Structure 1
Amino acid sequence: MLATRAAFVAVGLAVNVLMMVRGIIFMTILGYEDLGLVALVQSVILFSGLMHFGLLNGGYRLLCHAGAAYKQRIVDLAYTGFASIGALIGLSALIVSFWIDSDLYRVIAALTALAGFCTLIRSWMTNEMVAAGRLRSVNAINGISMLASLALVGLLYPGLAPFDPALVAVLSIAVQPVLFVALSFASGAVLKPRRFKASKRLSRVIFAAGFTLFLTGIAIQLMNLMERSYVSGQLGLEALGRLYLAFLFLTLFQLAPNLVQQVFLPNIVNAFKAREKATVSRELRHLLIVTTGYATAACLALWLLAEPLLQLILPEYVPDLRWVYLLAPGLIAFTLSAPFALTFNVVIDYRWYVVAYGVGMASTAGILGGAILFDAPFTLDGMMILRSAIYAAMAAILIVGWWRLSRSYPEFRMTIR
């Protein structure tokens, strides 16, 4: 079991490396304005992929210990919801297309909508396979879809691109979730919906378990959208492109801890339900050790290797490391708070999530809104310092919440052996 977990995380990290390669190619070929457009598209895709209103979180939480018949009912309900969400995403893309006066941007809007919807389905499928222990299937499908994305990136090189480079970049991003969904269904690695049906009772159970967590996830992406919309609107797409390196670091840094949490959560939930306090405590300790080790290694790599490597492959982007360094402290603090915050998901008590993410979103909206209202624009330095400070504040709130919760559940203190 330990070897399978390690392989799952290793493949996830390898996919992260390939994503980094893709980002480096974008930075090599595209100008800052096109990079800004790509950053905006990626943010919209991630935001669309989170528009599940709690289906993803609540369904995954129940899949961790559901029987075969109950799993099928959960899957049927999930895809019923996804069909409605997909229609909403498609309608939004159609409305946006009427405001756009460029055929190129209309095509990009359509690809963004498709990729956003498939990202939503991909997240569900990944959770389903992890909950069922089919980690090898996730690895294989993840690897194939990422390699296909990289193959399309190859069209960006001079003389190969059949159309606009920005469109090629967006197409390479979109093909990854689309292919993941197609391969998951084709391989039988996930359950297919047998009928579209919404059970009121099951819906209440799922949304009770997942809706609050959905709000916290959407808060992060709203912060991303507000940040990127502010920069593109107030400072221009070129300025947004200058932050692409920081955004790439942000995305890649968070993927590995998320993978690790996905692996640990089912065991912690099952042990908690079985009242195996020593197992809960041990699994949480292991998760904290792994997360701390990862954060330490990332800090050292950023400190010792980032500038020499960038100087070697993308010397013109070395000045942009400034914004990575400004973002990193808060991001690392937020990542280290994740093992503590996972306990809220185990007991399905998300009050502290709501407080932390609500403070983060309200602070972002209030500060950026005030900057516009009082005509006191942020610099790029100011944007990254703001994001780092908000991450740190959210981490502090989450750890306070864990400490309060652990009074009722001493196993969460990780001291029971």
Structure 2
Amino acid sequence: MSDPRDGLTARRGALRLMAHVLRDGRMLDDGASGLEGAEAARALRLAGTVLRHMGRADALLKQRMARQPAARTRDILRLATVELMVLDAAPHGVVHDAVALTRSSPKTAKQAGLVNAVLRGLADARAEWDALPPPALPPWLRKPLAKAWGRDRLEAIEAAHLVPAPLDLTPKPGVTVPGAELLPTGSLRLPRGQVSALPGYETGDWWVQDAAAAIPARLLGDVAGLRVLDLCAAPGGKTMQLAAAGARVTALDLSEARMRRLAENLERTRLTADLVTADALDWTPEAPFDAVLLDAPCTATGTIRRHPDLPHLREARDVEALTELQYKLIDRALGFVVPGGRLVFCTCSLLPVEGEHQVTAALGRHPGLVAEPPDPAALGLPPETGSAHGLRLLPDLWPERGHMDGFYMAVLRTRA
């Protein structure tokens, strides 16, 4: 029999995680320290679901309060509203714990009556909730996306962000996982579940990687025997793809902690690569590579469906700094490629300034550099993913399959 305090503990943890994002400006996963096991998993799930639906929760609550309560009280109301409307939690337990959490702090104790009244008033709000539109992206992101993709596509992207991401796996050649759907791109897709409990985890037969993120490495085709550099490589999904395909891989990343994680992933999957912890802007290889894959640092706005904290953390000023870094990394990466070799540039961003514009600019400043646009059909992708010089993937694709992350990618060949 479960301890009735478990629900209160997880909800308290979720509130702490929400404050970690909304008031401390830090990533959701960074706040999970101090939580363990199932308690941590539930708190993270609760907090992530609230952040995903927060705009809708705020709209519903606004109609029922004359003024905004204290920040913690507002978070308690958001959490309870999302539990009732999205997770279909038992109303009695939700309201009871929300009131208890409000009373537990001297700063909010006097608002316990408000919390009780507002939440009990949501009993007949289901139709009102269902009629609410998906939360809008922040203006700094929404405006350029509307300009780039149109209002209808923007709204489809925002709707896709409400759908929790499924679990995608990249298998080694010939590997299958019972119950998994084989996607047209070659990835395996499952409903969300405990990764370590899946068959093939212990034997390293596959690794977790969104279907969109698995495509850039495939753009290099047959890499068996080639020397390939994976820049900004950690946590190593693309490194493992290349190694499993027979490439002689060098994986480079600036972060020691992330490189330790990459090493652990290689050990589990029984794959090998040369690991280098260094700044790509300062590092120089002993010899050029046949190909380089650069998954450049970016705003990661293509991953909002799996990281609902991102819209609350990124700002317009982040874009300028990141695009400047991407510009420098492309130029640096081209210097690592043999004459006639290839560079795959990609970012998990929805913004053309971090994708299409970067490649157009690189072609303009490097005489002899040419783009080799991939064939979407050959990769199992819809024809509309073909874009300027490369591929443009957006989260509203594959609605019948559970969508995918947003990505831009292109293949650039240097002068022979």
Could you say which structure has the higher strand fraction?
Answer: 2
Q: Using structure 2 for the length normalisation, give the TM-score.
A: 0.29
Q: Using structure 1 for the length normalisation, give the TM-score.
A: 0.29
Could you say which structure has the higher helix fraction?
Answer: 1
